[in-house]
Amino acid sequence: MRNTILLTLLFLTLNIFSQSNFEKGYFINNSGNKIACLIKNENWKNNPVSFEYKLSESDESKKNSISNVSEFSIPGKFKYEKHLSKIDKSSSIDYRLSKVRVPEYEEKEVFLKLIVESDTKLYVYSGTNLTRFFFSKNNGEIVPLVYKKYISNLGDIKVNELFKYQLKKLLPCKGLDTKKVNYSRKSLKEYFIRYNDCNTLDKKVTENETVDYSKNEIKSFIELKVKGGVNFLSNSIKDNTKLSPIITGEFSKTNFKFGAELEYFLPFSNHNWSIVLNPNYQYLSESVTLSNNQEPLIGDFTYHLDYKSIETMLAFRKYFSIKNQSKIFFDLGFTFNIPFSSKFTILSNKTTALQNFENIPSSGLFTAGIGYKLNNLYIEGRYYSEQDLLGTFTNVESRLSSASIMVAYSLFSSK
């Protein structure tokens, strides 16, 4: 029943809150008309080919694509421009490198994302395992900056860094050393900002404001939380030892557990995806006595569990915005339990201990959670798959199932 309720809440939540924020922006259609609208900001990891928008808050969302739009933007956050561009499709993964030194271009129409906007613009195109940079000067031709790893004739890895020569010859400025520039967003951004400032001071170009879109790009960050809550456990026992016919029974227990949580927020989709590492300490001590009518000389059996463990969860988490600082989330992951100083004992009310299991093995189990976040406070419900505490002992089964309600508070954020 508990599992059914948790899963039902999970699916209802996904259906209700599966949307991102719409923010004030605009797009320019192929006829050159600029349309003010609300754009769904998805903070795309890869350059999009379409986007969702609304003409007003009450309007239904619509989708527009690269075939109809030449530019779209949320001012101060991002701008994408449509260009017919030469995309080098060469792989940068070492075991898939080409033996060709020059770029292997594929010309296609794409939305290029602006990093620096001024008289000289810097763009980026991101795809699956692919990042390419471009520039244009005074709204002229889009020029790809060439960087390519390749396999030489001798079989070693070489790098074609033609982009440094391009910067030196096509975008020269005293005081800028192209040898120190790397083929990275940060390094190229700094070069283009300084180049635009350099040309403005030299009065070679008109003084246009330089816009650094990377300032508002979402970056990854980590959050450290302290966490505690209540665990609801149910332990079912099945004893088919030679001393008696099969005996079955179960007991339920509520206990407390506490720990810490480290959450790494990924740098896309408005920080709505994260990876969670959550170690907890838990302790359970409980006994149950089951009747043994078949063996009167032995008497009734008492099963006693003394269980201490460090429970470490690794999960992927997805957030859904509600409003302001309020979000709901769900996650799926894997938990590894490491017991210590734990034992499972079978006693008889007429004899001494019948069996004593002191080496309770470690176990792995799946977990799913759903929760609510408000500012620095987190509340979650969590379900764990069933685990067999005595997995290596075939004559006695002790199957533990659990669910928990946890509260967490963020102590530190690198955001």
What residue segments make up the domains of the chain, in order of their start? Answer: 76-216, 221-413
Q: Which two tokens stand for residue 255?
A: 């206990």
**What's the CA gap between 242 and 245, in Å, rounded?**
7
Q: Give me the pLDDT at residue 262, please.
A: 96
Distance (Å, rounded) from C-alpha 152 to C-alpha 150?
Answer: 6
Question: Are 69 and 30 in contact, with CB atoms under 8 Å apart?
Answer: yes
Geometric angle at alpha carbon 35, from 33 and 40, rounded to 5° = 135
What are the pLDDT digits (tens) for 279-335? 999 887 877 777 666 666 666 777 777 888 898 999 999 999 887 778 999 999 999
The span from the CA of 339 to the CA of 359, in Å, is: 9
- Closest by CA to 114, choosing from 86, 90, 142, 147, is 142
**Fold for domain 221-413?**
Porin (2.40.160)
pLDDT at 213: 80
pLDDT score recorded for residue 308: 85
Low-confidence ranges of the chain (pLDDT < 50): 1-7, 9-19, 203-207
Strands (E), 221-362: 221-239, 247-265, 273-290, 301-323, 326-339, 343-348, 355-357
**Alpha carbon of 414 to those of 45, 77, 266, 289: distances in Å?**
21, 21, 13, 52
Q: Which residues contact 380 (CB under 8 A, 6 or more apart)?
A: 329, 369, 370, 371, 372, 405, 406, 408
pLDDT of residue 55: 94
Residue 327 contacts residue 263 (beta carbons within 8 Å): no
User: What sign does the dihedral 81-35-213-264 (CA atoms) show?
Assistant: negative
Q: What's residue 352's pLDDT?
A: 60
pLDDT for position 76: 85
Radius of gyration of the CA atoms of the chain, in A: 30
pTM metric for this prediction: 0.69
pLDDT for position 21: 76
3-class SS of residue 8: helix
